Amino acid sequence: MATNPSGQIDSVLTEVRKFEPPAEFSSKAWVKSLAEHQALCKRADDDPEAFWAECARNLDWFKPFDKVLEWKFPFAKWFVGGSLNASYNCLDRHLKGGRRNKAAIIWEGEPGDSRVLTYQMLADEVGRAANALRELGVQEGDRVAIYMPLVPEAAIAMLACARIGAVHSVVFGGFSAEALADRINDAEAKVCITADAGWRRGAHVELKNNVDEALKRCSTIQKVVVLKRVGNKVSMRSGRDVWWDELVARQSPKCPPAQLDSEHMLYTLYTSGTTGKPKGVVHTIGGYLTHTLMTMKWVFDLKEEDTFWCTADIGWVTGHSYTVYGPLAAGATAVMYEGAPNFPHEDRFWRIIEKYGVTIFYTAPTAIRTFIKWGDSWVKDRDLSSLRLLGTVGEPINPEAWIWYRRVIGGDRCPIVDTWWQTETGGIMIAPVPGAIATKPGSATRPLPGVAAEVVTHDGKSVAANQGGLLVIKRPWPGMLRTVFRDPERYRQQYFSQIDGVYFTGDGARRDEDGYFWIMGRVDDVVNVSGHRLGTMEVESALVSHTSVAEAAVVGRPDEMKGQGVVAFVTLEGGRNGNDQLKQELRAHVVKEIGALARPDEIRFTDALPKTRSGKIMRRLLRQIASGDQTLGDTTTLEDLSVLAKLRDDEE
């Protein structure tokens, strides 16, 4: 295979549209101008430790820290010597003033049931749940697996663990029994908290049955706590299984928070790669809470009266950081919705925004492209005037989806914060500060204050403007992962061994002449055509900018002449059928948008793309299908196996 000798990624997508922050928005923002933003960044760069110490003091500490950072490459300790409690910072400190009776969580279930928990009500429930865990023998440092639907009790369980110093390991409720068992075994969890089932598109997700199946392979679980969510009959094993409703209800709401070291483990969260067992990413209390709290202020310009909705499930880091810990540490009102965005109809999200007066809406590009596919008609009859800020998370957003989001959902008035970060970073790293930074569709814009991001070659040299390279972080930050659970060597190898002296994100990126970062996708989502490494996201963006295309995924396949050929899997707007004429039209469109180098060798039309339950396209499977490989490996995270079967049938 031919390779670019420098290891650089060729960046070919050009985007010239630019949107200044609305003057009215900037006038009320936390950071009001580019000059203020630059001054904040300069302060952070001149003395990072003093800057982050000032940020950390926005939290309540039982004992102040003695030292800001202890850095023994590649291992960091932040706010050394300090003690605090995440649950206290998310709950107790808000009970002393006007937030006591403020809504902390507004929850809506898929069938339409709803609940509102004030900060006082949430604190009482967390206290009861924490005491329940203690009754079950859970002690400081023990791991608790949480495998639940997106209901308030999932957040309550997380905060209850945090209150007593237990370590939660949340497993997404869409994962299979096999995937759950792998995560329980790696964490050596002592207790599993689940529900009888959850709702998804009107059907039951059989959580308790999955737990029973998983525990046939697990030896460390002593107790299973089961929430009655849908009311279906499940088997309860005597001596092991207990009902949440009975156990928690009998507890006192008073549970003093444990005074924990800043570096005490708050949680481990498992991320899966293309090979190997899932990695347990470890986050600790002080640095993680500092990072999530400050990004709520900078990126979302959070105000006391805001109603904030992050649509991510609690099983992903986005749900950890921006449904639970970030919003609650900031004293915000957070919306949680249990179900699918198209149940019972495709306007469910817009009805929720209208019903609860959501002001800040944070969702994934995959969801936005799905909304586009469903059509504007689902939006036009809903009142979205409460919205003042929109956000995207999870993957790069193509410019045309960004423009649609701004125009149709934001009414051409709401700034968009396109955020880049990872499970490993803990919180947002690159994003526009909305009152200060002009936005460009498809760009995450600039690093946040205190984040030293750079685009480099494989040997660590900075690349020129508009030259693609590898995205790295050059110095430690408070929200960074501390290690891989019980595998420090994997932590070192995965993140700190590939480029000397820095954290390698695994992403390709370029930085333009204005210093804006354009994320080009994972470096393994790169097609190497005749020695040119093309980011697949850029080819996908070109395809999606065609009026007929709803969604596209681009992968490489072996090519004897060029090293790799470009294969595009395309879904069309409005369920229309593809034909050879449209294939030629799309090829020409890509050439026009990017150049002949990026012309797809093959275009395959499909009704749907294989995705994980969190909405990410499984390009690994598409690469294998494009290459004719019938051994597709692990498909436990695939949401709809029939999509895979149909793609293989089409191939045959």
| % residues pLDDT > 90 (the chain) | 77
Q: Averaged over 464-482, what is the pLDDT? A: 96
Q: Is the pLDDT of residue 277 over 90?
A: no
pLDDT (0 to 100) of residue 179: 83
Q: Regarding beta strands 453-456 and 469-473, do their DSSP bridges make them parallel or antiparallel, or are they unpaired? A: antiparallel
Is the CB of residue 471 less than 8 Å from the CB of residue 453? yes
Report pTM: 0.86
pLDDT (0 to 100) of residue 366: 84
Q: Is the pLDDT of residue 616 over 90?
A: no
Is the CB of residue 527 less than 8 Å from the CB of residue 566? yes
Helix axes of 619-626 and 641-651: crossing angle, nearest 10 degrees: 20
- pLDDT band, very low/low/confident/very high, at 581 (cuts 50, 70, 90): very high
Q: Averaged over 151-175, what is the pLDDT? A: 96
Whose CA is closest to 8, among 593, 591, 534, 595? 534
The more confidently predicted of residues 542 and 509 is 509
Place of tokens 């039209």: 585
Distance CA 244, CA 105 (A): 20
Distance CA 431, CA 417 (A): 6
pLDDT (0 to 100) of residue 594: 77
- The answer for residues whose C-beta is within 8 angstroms of residue 123's C-beta and 6 or more apart is 91, 92, 95, 253
State the chain's mean pLDDT as an integer.
92
Q: Work out the widest C-alpha separation in the chain, in whole angstroms.
A: 71
- pLDDT band, very low/low/confident/very high, at 168 (cuts 50, 70, 90): very high
Highest averaged pLDDT of the listed ranges 180-184, 238-242, 518-522: 238-242
Q: Is the pLDDT of residue 275 over 60?
A: no
Distance CA 513, CA 510 (A): 10
Q: Averaged over 42-66, what is the pLDDT? A: 98
Encode pLDDT of 334-365 as tens digits: 999 999 999 999 999 999 999 999 999 999 98
Distance CA 567, CA 555 (A): 5
- Dig out the tokens for 5 from the structure: 């000798």
- Partners of 638 in beta bridges: 612
Distance CA 398, CA 368 (A): 10
pLDDT (0 to 100) of residue 9: 59
Q: Averaged over 455-465, what is the pLDDT? A: 95
Helix axes of 536-544 and 580-593: crossing angle, nearest 10 degrees: 120
How far are the Cα atoms of 113, 123, 139, 401, 422 from residue 146, in angstroms, in the given order?
22, 19, 16, 34, 21
pLDDT (0 to 100) of residue 10: 65
- pLDDT band, very low/low/confident/very high, at 636 (cuts 50, 70, 90): low
| % residues pLDDT > 70 (the chain) | 92
Encode pLDDT of 360-402 as tens digits: 999 998 899 889 989 999 999 999 999 999 999 988 888 999 9
Q: What separation, in Å, do the N-terminal and C-terminal C-alpha atoms of the chain show?
A: 27
Angle CA(270)–CA(458)–CA(522) in degrees, nearest 5? 40
Is the CB of residue 593 less than 8 Å from the CB of residue 527? no
Q: Is the pLDDT of residue 515 over 70?
A: yes
Q: Is the pLDDT of residue 602 over 70?
A: yes
Place of tokens 């209850």: 160
Q: Is the pLDDT of residue 1 over 50?
A: no
**DSSP single-letter state for residue 19:** B
The more confidently predicted of residues 169 and 530 is 169
Is the CB of residue 317 less than 8 Å from the CB of residue 309? no
Alpha helices, H only, 456-579? 488-496, 536-544
Phi-psi region of 198 (alpha: psi -120 to 50; beta: other; left: phi over 0): beta
Q: Which domains does the chain have, with CATH numbers?
A: 525-651 (3.30.300.30)
Within 10 Å of residue 457's Cβ, how many Cβ atoms?
A: 15
Q: Is the pLDDT of residue 430 over 80?
A: yes
